[in-house]
Structure 1
Amino acid sequence: MKRYSLSLLVLCGALLATSCNDLNEQEPAGNKLSTNQMLATNEMIPERAAATFSGMFNYLGTPGIYGTARADDFGAISAALSCDAEGADLILGDNGYNWFSAACTLQSRDVHYANPLMRYTIPYRQIGVANQIINSIDESTATGTPLNQLAQAHAIRAFDYMQLAPYFQFSYATSADKPCVPILTGTEDYFNNPRATVKQVYELILKDLDFAIAHLQGYTRPSKQYIDLNVAYGLRARANLLMGNWAAAAADADKAMDGYTPASIAEVSVPAFDNIADHNWIWGVDITEAQLKSNSNAGYQNASSWLSAFSGEAYAAATGNVPVINKLLFDKIPSTDVRKGWWLDANKHSPNWANITWTDPSKGTSATGDAIADFEIENVKTPFDAYTNIKFGQQSGIGNTLNNNDFPLMRVEEMILIKAEGLAKSGQEATAKQVLEDFVRTYRDPSYTVPSTRTLADEIWFQRRVELWGEGFFTMDAKRLGKNIVRIHAGESSNYPDAYQFNIKSDDGWLNLRFPQREMDNNEGLKGNDNTGGALPVSGQNGDLRDGVTD
């Protein structure tokens, strides 16, 4: 097995990183191509236009997209894993091989660390490519392919700002007029670009998504990695949810799920969530064999290597870092819910892998079902901990070394839960309750009834935490809902490593990311205007905090 440096704490200066001011190599403002010019250019050099457009999507999950040999370098997917590792439900190991340890400890606020630098830089790099497209096409005359590409560029830009805004400031409801992140559209002075307010960032997000929705009508995408009308509605549903526009969020979610149905109980009663072709995926990252052969480290720089327990060439499985669920949340999942089997229980049992066999190709020995938990394969798999996730399968087969698992960026199940929340918070609780019960009873737990032990709002959050576990939503949700991050209950046993055992108050300033040092050095507008407040959490702190779900 390949081994990486054990240190995650790489100084910014050692990275092939760029700051905001040089993320946007684009046409000067006012130098747009007419539709005829764009078409002529595409006809003469079609590969150039196609490469720029396709390249815009590379930042979603291409291995080594940041340009390093780091095992945590795989674009928006690695950012999603980082955001969940900063929360309360997904646990990684406390060992020298955990490249996400800065997120687990929340040392990711250090302005010199690589993890937060990548999470800041990658969205802006993708915004830069989107801006090239937006500033090269005249929207007043564009039709056909150029117009479709322009609409998708606006949608991608909105997506990227939603990968930044929720993490650099508190919720829209409490902080609309507070500083968020710099806006880059192609007209700013990149060397002196101050933080826009939360409200200004979301105004741009909605403007971009309104444009995308207006101009993707009737468009058929070549694959689910691209953005069509459903995706644009889904992104606007998320934006409205983040802004507290409840009725609008519900309406957009309803439109986003048109033509899609949730995965059935049978479909999720085995390891899954690895194939973009699944009928419940609205949008995803399509990992190809060519991408995995793009560099010598690509085999580890992907979702399979970090999220799947079943890869024959995984970084996480070989080093004791397959993500596990916090037992506080696991214990709240009813035994009648098929999702309980997405994780091993305290005895390393799950009904969801009863018919799965893993064979050690070097020895010819095999294990089936629960026996897989303690099955060891040299340089491939160490014994699993209790509560290890088996939610994510292995698309090419158990033990396969081709790590081509796709990653879901948007599923119809998320849209159903947005619809339920939007209805509940816009005065339609009875309808919201029905939407929630219909979904869970039909597709997850036939015995389900909305419990009286939680508020409806907290029950919807509970369902989001279980359904969307490992897909990057926890921290964004906790911050928009104003919820404490509760990893432990004082006096109770925890499966969190000791160093990660702490809780954080919902208004703790440490929850807001800091700007990377390189960005502050290059952007005068950020100097003296970084996020402050709070302190690095310490083991055992705030054990009496509760979140309304795991109480």
Structure 2
Amino acid sequence: MKFTSKYIAFASAALMLVSCDLDKLPDGQYVTEKQKDETNDKRPNMVIAEVNGMAAKMNCFGTISDDVNEYHSDFGVPAVSLQLESSGQDFVATTSGYNWFNRAQNYSDRVYTDKTGAEFIWKIFYNHMQAANNVLLSAPKDSDDPDLKIYRGQALASRAYDYLNLVQCFQFTYAGHENALAVPIVTETMTTEELESNPRATVQQVYDQIMNDLNEAIELLDGYVHGAANKDKIDIHVAYGLRARANLLMQKWADAAKDAEMAMAGGSPQSLKDVSSPTFNSSTVSSWLWGIVITPDNEVVTTGIVNWPSHLCSFTGNGYTTLTGAFRFGNSALYDLIPATDIRKQWFVSPEKTSTLIDNETVGGESVIDYFGLSPYVNTKFGAYQNTFGNSTNSSDWPLMRVEEMILIKAEGEAMSGNLTAGKATLEDFVKTYRDPSFASKATSPQDLQDEVWLQRRMELWGEGFSLFDILRLKKPIVRKGSNFAASVQFDLAPESQIMIYRVPQCEMEANQGIEESDNNPAAPQPTL
């Protein structure tokens, strides 16, 4: 019997949990530095709690509503990643039924009154930023305490991460848009009055803030390595990785390659054997530099279905994918581009309904494909919790940065900075060793190598939230026609189509007197066939 035919009572069930606090910005609810210092003398663990709070803000339910039955796409940064993936060209899903991200797929979430679109992204990253700013108030720049220096470095890098996401969601890419309006800059020293009248900064100003934060973070975190058990914390390698991303976006190619190499020292790629079974569900593997560590008692897990495995994992025993058939598929056009010798072709069920990752696996005496009702192009990349097919506990970790991404940044940065030979060598060494022994770069120019890296990113990072950002960074079109997208969303978009980015949400426009209607991004019509 196909698993997808089983009755689902959970969709209407009331789920009991305590939601994350909604931190409405601007709020100005900051105590003075003197008060913080006095409190820290009495309660030193308070700063640690604030640091832990930064991690918690990335993985919580209740950002846009505390009613668990209202938005099942409200589960933190992993939900933002699935939303952005749904807006691209490689991440396919049903357009109806239980696809909670269908509004991102058809771009109807670009309306600035849509709570699941701009408002959700805005609040996720500004709430996380507020947590970082709270740490910065507790860990002043002039502190000599070695622990406070680390906490400050982590907070600065966290804030830079937020800006990196916000600036790419709410404005086109850095190159050519340096003077365009992006997002307001919020720092720990701002007064209530400043927060309530805080205009959109330019793209250049936001990147200046990002680089200032990361430069200081790298200085403060020098020598600090978080260890395998604490990958939800930022260490020196993650800070370098974030700066590598920023430099790549600014087309500072040599700097991007150098920072990526520094980040790579924090891990090693998953081997060909490692990725020959469903994986990408645990931060303990060698390749994860940074991730969201999710435990069974976390509120997004106790909801049962308001979490990323429910929407993405094809092997969960309790999710929208397997219980309703709302699977996530790879684009058939991308599948056709993956060489037969590349293990990543097996990260998707073939048109003949096979994948070497699961062909010999069974559940209850049935093949995995038959038990879960898998169809062509369904992803097999993301394993169930504890690598147990049908596990009903959705407590899998979420990747935020992997060493494989850093290797690809290094290859692109080397080639685009004038060293094509080095870029090809970096790319070939990674792919041939870890993914496709038959790979050979055919690039004869830096731009050729850049496109090869882009294809590698599309394959390697599929589903992890990079797809739309890469399209925007490289100024590529979105091509869905002639693929397995549903007919209603099988449209193409020209490079830098206005609909690709979000508008400043209505909630911010109403709270922030510094942004007028004329300051917002232009409205754009929903794409049509």
Q: CA deviation at 1:148?
A: 1.2
Match of 2:381 in 1: 391
Q: Distance in 2 between matches of 1:32 and 1:85?
A: 45
Match of 2:77 in 1: 76
Match of 2:272 among 243, 265, 272: 265
Q: Which moves more between the two structures, 189-198 or 316-325?
A: 316-325
Structure 2 counterpart of 1:317, one-letter code: T
Q: Given that residues 394 and 403 in structure 1 are in contact (C-alpha distance below 8 angstroms), is that contact kept between their aligned partners in structure 2?
A: yes
Q: Given that residues 112 and 502 in structure 2 are in contact (C-alpha distance below 8 angstroms), is that contact kept between their aligned partners in structure 1?
A: no
Q: Distance in 1 between matches of 2:155 and 2:164?
A: 14
1:445 aligns with 2:436: yes
Q: CA deviation at 1:451?
A: 3.1
Q: Given that residues 26 and 131 in structure 1 are in contact (C-alpha distance below 8 angstroms), is that contact kept between their aligned partners in structure 2?
A: no
Q: Given that residues 58 and 65 in structure 1 are in contact (C-alpha distance below 8 angstroms), is that contact kept between their aligned partners in structure 2?
A: no
Higher helix fraction: Structure 1 or Structure 2? 2
CA offset digits 1:376-425 (Å, max 9, x no partner): xxxxx5x2231000000113211111111111111110000000011111
Q: Given that residues 301 and 395 in structure 2 are in contact (C-alpha distance below 8 angstroms), is that contact kept between their aligned partners in structure 1?
A: no
- 1:132-531 to structure 2, matched below 5 A, reads 132-186=134-188, 187=190, 189-221=194-226, 223-292=230-299, 295=302, 297=303, 299-359=304-364, 366-368=365-367, 372-375=368-371, 381=372, 383-396=373-386, 397-451=388-442, 455-488=448-481, 492=482, 494-528=483-517, 529-531=519-521
Q: Distance in 2 between matches of 1:432 and 1:331?
A: 25
CA offset digits 1:321-375 (Å, max 9, x no partner): 221000011100000001100000112211111232122xxxxxx322xxx3333
Call closer, same or farther: CA 1:166–1:530 in 2, change over 3 Å: same
Q: Distance in 1 between matches of 2:105 and 2:12?
A: 18
Q: Distance in 2 between matches of 1:394 and 1:322?
A: 14
Find the residue that maps to 2:182 and give its secondary structure: coil
Q: Which moves more between the two structures, 183-192 or 240-249?
A: 183-192
Structure 1 counterpart of 2:389, one-letter code: I
Q: Distance in 2 between matches of 1:160 and 1:25?
A: 20
Structure 2 counterpart of 1:400, one-letter code: N
- Count how many residue pairs are aligned between Structure 1 and Structure 2: 503
Call closer, same or farther: CA 1:18–1:56 in 2, change over 3 Å: closer
Q: Distance in 2 between matches of 1:32 and 1:208?
A: 24
Find the residue that maps to 2:291 and give its secondary structure: strand
1:21 aligns with 2:21: no
Q: CA deviation at 1:525?
A: 1.5
Q: CA deviation at 1:517?
A: 1.1
Call closer, same or farther: CA 1:519–1:530 in 2, change over 3 Å: same
> % of aligned pairs identical?
38
Q: Given that residues 224 and 276 in structure 1 are in contact (C-alpha distance below 8 angstroms), is that contact kept between their aligned partners in structure 2?
A: yes
Match of 2:522 in 1: 532
Call closer, same or farther: CA 1:56–1:456 in 2, change over 3 Å: same
Find the residue that maps to 2:411 and give its secondary structure: helix
Q: CA deviation at 1:33?
A: 4.5
Call closer, same or farther: CA 1:91–1:214 in 2, change over 3 Å: same
- Structure 1: stretches of 5+ with no match in the other structure: 7-14, 360-365, 376-380, 541-551
Find the residue that maps to 2:440 and give its secondary structure: coil
Match of 2:91 in 1: 90
Q: Which moves more between the two structures, 63-72 or 523-532?
A: 63-72
Q: Given that residues 443 and 452 in structure 2 are in contact (C-alpha distance below 8 angstroms), is that contact kept between their aligned partners in structure 1?
A: no
Match of 2:4 in 1: none
CA offset digits 1:288-308 (Å, max 9, x no partner): 01105775x2x2122221121
Q: CA deviation at 1:536?
A: 0.9
TM-score under structure 1 length normalisation: 0.87
Q: Distance in 2 between matches of 1:65 and 1:315?
A: 21
Q: Distance in 2 between matches of 1:191 and 1:4?
A: 39
Structure 2 counterpart of 1:75, one-letter code: G
CA offset digits 1:166-204 (Å, max 9, x no partner): 111111111011100011113152221110000000111
1:106 aligns with 2:107: yes
Call closer, same or farther: CA 1:4–1:18 in 2, change over 3 Å: farther
